[in-house]
Amino acid sequence: MKLKQRVVLLAILLVIFIFTKVFLIDNLDTSAANREDQRAFHRMMTGLRVELAPKLDHTLQSPWEIAAQWVVPREVYPEETPELGAIMHAMATKKIIKADVGYKGTQLKALLILEGGQKVVFKPKRYSRDHVVEGEPYAGYDRHNAEVAAFHLDRILGFRRAPLVVGRFVNLRTEIKPVATEQLLSTFLTVGNNTCFYGKCYYCRETEPACADGDIMEGSVTLWLPDVWPLQKHRHPWGRTYREGKLARWEYDESYCDAVKKTSPYDSGPRLLDIIDTAVFDYLIGNADRHHYESFQDDEGASMLILLDNAKSFGNPSLDERSILAPLYQCCIIRVSTWNRLNYLKNGVLKSALKSAMAHDPISPVLSDPHLDAVDQRLLSVLATVKQCTDQFGMDTVLVEDRMPLSHL
């Protein structure tokens, strides 16, 4: 063989060797990442059922101190949460030392302060579990049980971006009225034999109070995030106009995502992928009302998108509002970790996991079977949407590796 031919052959062999090595390393990295996703999924499933128990044997800290220390820029609570049952037990049982009207907003709520100084937001029961909210996807009152279910779905998906929520029964006559501010107390009334209140909010009306069963009111309590983490409100790039006949740009511009990608904070960092995760989350719960969202202040796009106010969900199990998924099917990107988790949850696993996670909540059963079935059905639509994207653009383009190290120090 001539020298020139040998050189060419060696060059070809070298290219093949380098390509093979790089390919194998990439596959090993991907396999390692997938294995870690699978281990994380099994850890989540193992610790899914949270039994509400009062004891914190291994620490002198209060439940409120532990929960406050959990919060970091990219998650509200860590993956391993052995204290979660004790914190949720405290939220469901601790003495209420003050009650006031809720922070400003459109829906009825009350701001409670529990023994130890912890703020929680109380949302009262408005509907029975079997009630179907007709009309627009964002119609009707807030659903207290939706807040509970959404929190546990956040756990199951591995996002860990929703504040802690638990169901609670309160006696309005003995627990709330004696510690209520004058502003809240002035909204109490009696309807038949039931104690009711209508609070202060944009849509709060004396003619539309929330009523207890006698004096006992079912509701949800959401743990207030620590004051050292002030929130910043953002207009959702895929939000609705809420004006009749007026479309938002994303509703008619097929290249809208390209414009979003050039706009801060979506032009760098994890925020756009958080938007995609949130679209999946909202579609699964049937929430078409996230026209704004919150992050931590001064985050320069690095903070998580916090999954607050999830009560406009689980209203109609027949709802299939595909527009909620617009960020996903217009951008055609999704985190690898999210994609893996969604695949682990198909074939009825999601319904089973959600039912198991909520089994020990004080207001269990939290969701009716039609709503649980609907979540499973919507998951199939999410997977199909990603499949359409990968068919069109390829797996390497659609599935984005975005694993950020998290610190709890």
| Tokens 């069963």 belong to residue | 213
**b (16+ CB within 10 A) / e for 161-198:** bbbbbbbbbbebeebbbebbeeebbebbeeeeebbbbb
Q: Is 320 a catalytic residue?
A: no
Cα distance between residue 313 and residue 147, in whole Å: 8
223 is in an annotated binding site: yes
Q: Are 211 and 194 in contact (CB under 8 A)?
A: yes
Report CA 316 to chain centroid distance, whole Å: 18
Answer whether 176's CB lies under 8 Å from 221's CB.
no
Smallest Cα–Cα separation from 78: which of 88, 67, 89, 86?
67
Residue range 199-224: average pLDDT? 96
pLDDT tens, residue by residue, 68-79: 999 999 999 999
pLDDT in tens, 340-362: 999 999 999 999 999 999 999 99
Tally the residues of the chain.
409
Per-residue pLDDT, averaged over 16-29, amounts to 40
Q: Is 298 annotated as a binding residue?
A: no
- Residue 244 marked in a binding site: no
- Tell me what pLDDT residue 344 has: 96
For residue 137, is pLDDT > 90?
no
Residue (of 275, 339, 285) closest to 312 by Cα position: 285
pTM score of the predicted model = 0.90
**Residues 365-396 pLDDT 10s:** 999 999 999 999 999 999 999 999 999 999 99
Q: Work out whether the CA dihedral 355, 360, 364, 366 comes out positive or negative.
A: negative
The pLDDT tens digits of the residues spanning 36-74 come to: 888 888 888 888 888 898 888 777 799 999 999 999 999
309 assigned ligand-binding residue: yes
pLDDT at 197 over 50: yes
Give 3's pLDDT tier (boundaries 50, 70, 90): low
Was 294 annotated as part of a binding site? yes
Q: Tokens standing for 231?
A: 């929130």
Tokens of 24: 């194998």
Contacts made by residues 381-386, CB under 8 angstroms, sequence distance 24+: 381/283, 381/320, 381/322, 381/325, 382/280, 382/283, 382/284, 382/325, 382/328, 382/342, 383/342, 383/343, 383/346, 385/325, 385/328, 385/329, 386/328, 386/334, 386/339, 386/342
Residues near 205 by Cβ (< 8 Å), separated by ≥ 6? 198
Mean pLDDT, the chain, rounded, equals 90
Q: Is the peptide bond before 365 cis (omega within 30 degrees of 0)?
A: yes
Which residues, 6 or more positions from 106, have their beta carbon under 8 angstroms from its beta carbon?
201, 202, 203
Q: Is 409 annotated as a binding residue?
A: no
Is 222 a known ligand-binding residue?
yes
Task: Report DSSP letters for 366-404, one per residue.
Answer: -S-HHHHHHHHHHHHHHHHHHHHHHHHH-HHHHEE----
What is the three-class DSSP state of 317?
A: coil
From 100, 274, 289, 361, the catalytic residue = 289
